[in-house]
Amino acid sequence: MARFAVRRLASMVAVMFAISILTFLLFQVLPNSDPSTRLAGRTASPTQIAKIRSDWGFDKPIYVQYIKTMGKILNGTVTSYQQQLPVEDQIRQDLPTTLSLAIGAGVIWLALGILFGVLSAWRAGRWLDRGLTVLSLVGVSMPVFFLGAVLSYYIGDKARILPAGDYVALTSDPWQWFKHMLMPWFALSVLFIGVYSRILRSTILDTINDDYVRTARAKGLSERQVMIRHVLRNSLIPIVSLWGLDFASVLGGGAILTETVFNLHGVGQYAAQSVEGLDIPPVLVITMFGAFAVVLLSAVVDIVYAALDPRIRL
């Protein structure tokens, strides 16, 4: 177990560093990759640009720049180019929004995904199954920003049932927080519900015919016990592992489109704005943070996996 953890940790760190290098290089591809002209603004003189270049170290070789930036990221002093604000503070400020979105939507899509999947499998081939299948496929085919824009227009602007976008802190007003988050949660969940219910449905149907389920039935367990203890438990494994990864990527800034269309100042929107402003430090930190979340959660998933499935031992 300890060896497993160490190996996991090592690969996590390796991936994060590889990602940071990739991100850093990505922005060097730009033909005008020197950020000093952007930082200097439109009325800058050549001396001023030169001063910014040396102040920020843009005149140094690329690997020196990379090492310096990484050093600042690790000791928490890295600042953005655009506003020169500490990046980590900004992420800390944005994280509650993203957490609200990820947790709320994560619960919804997991619960509804399982519900629809089970119902679909239970009624396989019947009308309920067909209806849910069509519904989930529509969900999978829906771009979230389109859904978000249409929802905000009809429910937010027209009917005024729910506020369209914006974030209210949970600590300042829980009811408003809930009302503001409801539409983003729903919009973000739709696609995942579709994916999860489809996967669960097919795994349940596969598992029902597995040998050990037949054995369990032969042992005289009731159909309900078989379904819950054996079929559902085993069918949930891929769902749980998938959920961990999806949750992690939403947490790590993956919900860029949802956050943008609902104007939620989360990590994803921060990332999108930073990329738009060619602001390398925040993008570096967020991609590393996102990768960290994905890799960490995938490790957690493996442990849960092992707990759920006695056949897997770490």
22-41: contacts with other proteins (CB under 8 A): 22-23, 26-27, 29-32, 34, 37-41
Q: Which lies closer to other proteins via its Cβ, residue 195 or residue 227?
A: 195
Report the distance separating Cα 249 and Cα 105, nearest Å: 13
72: which residues sit within 8 A by CB, 6+ positions away? 78, 79, 281
Closer residue to other proteins (CB): 228 or 312: 312
Q: Can you tell me which of 254, 266, 281, 282 binds other proteins, judged by CB under 8 A? A: 254
User: Is residue 52 a contact point for other proteins (CB under 8 A)?
Assistant: yes
By CB under 8 A, is residue 141 in contact with other proteins?
Answer: yes
Among 69, 234, 235, 241, the residue binding other proteins under the rule CB under 8 A is: 241
Q: How far is residue 287's CA from residue 305's CA, in Å, rounded to a whole number?
A: 26
Among the listed residues 5, 6, 89, 214, the single contact to other proteins using CB under 8 A: 89
Query: Which residues are CB-contacts of 313 (< 8 A; sequence separation ≥ 6)?
Result: 306
205 lies in the site for other proteins, by CB under 8 A? yes
Count of CA atoms in the C-beta half-sphere (13 A) of 58: 20
Q: Does 258 bind other proteins (CB under 8 A)?
A: yes
User: Is 131 a binder of other proteins (CB under 8 A)?
Assistant: no
Other CB atoms within 10 Å distance of the CB of residue 19: 17
Q: Which two tokens stand for residue 237?
A: 């494994």
Residue nearer to other proteins on the CB measure, 70 or 238: 238
238 binds other proteins (CB under 8 A): yes
Spatial separation of the C-alpha atoms in residues 230 and 233, rounded to whole Å? 5
Judged by CB under 8 A, which stretch of 65-73, 172-180, 226-234, 249-257 contacts other proteins? 249-257
51 binds other proteins (CB under 8 A): yes
Instruction: Give the nearest distance from C-beta 79 to other proteins in angstroms.
Output: 8
- Closer Cβ to other proteins, 141 or 220, answer by number: 141
Indicate whether 220 belongs to the interface with other proteins (CB under 8 A).
no
DSSP string, 217-274: HHTT--HHHIIIIIIIHHHHHHHHHHHHHHHHHIIIII-HHHHHHTT--SHHHHHHHH
By the rule CB under 8 A, 307 interacts with other proteins: no
Q: Which is nearer to other proteins, 227 or 291 (CB)?
A: 291
Tokens of 225: 């016990």
Question: Measured in Å, how far apart are the chain's first and last C-alpha atoms?
Answer: 7
79 phi and psi angles, rounded to 5 deg: -120, 155
Question: Which stretch, 66-74, 76-84, 171-179, 224-232, contacts other proteins (CB under 8 A)?
Answer: 76-84
Which range binds other proteins by CB under 8 A, 64-72, 111-119, 211-219, 252-260? 252-260
Distance CA 143, CA 109 (A): 16
Residue among 19 and 95 whose Cβ is closer to other proteins: 19
Query: In the 3-class helix/strand/coil scheme, how is 163-213 assigned residue by residue?
Result: CCCCCCCCCCCHHHHHHHHHHHHHHHHHHHHHHHHHHHHHHHHHHHCCHHH
CB nearer to other proteins: give 126 or 228: 126
Binding flag, residue 137, other proteins (CB under 8 A): yes
Q: Is residue 153 at the binding interface for other proteins, with CB under 8 A as the rule? A: yes
Options 61-69, 127-135, 212-220, 224-232: segment touching other proteins (CB under 8 A): 127-135
* Cα Rg, the chain, nearest whole Å: 24
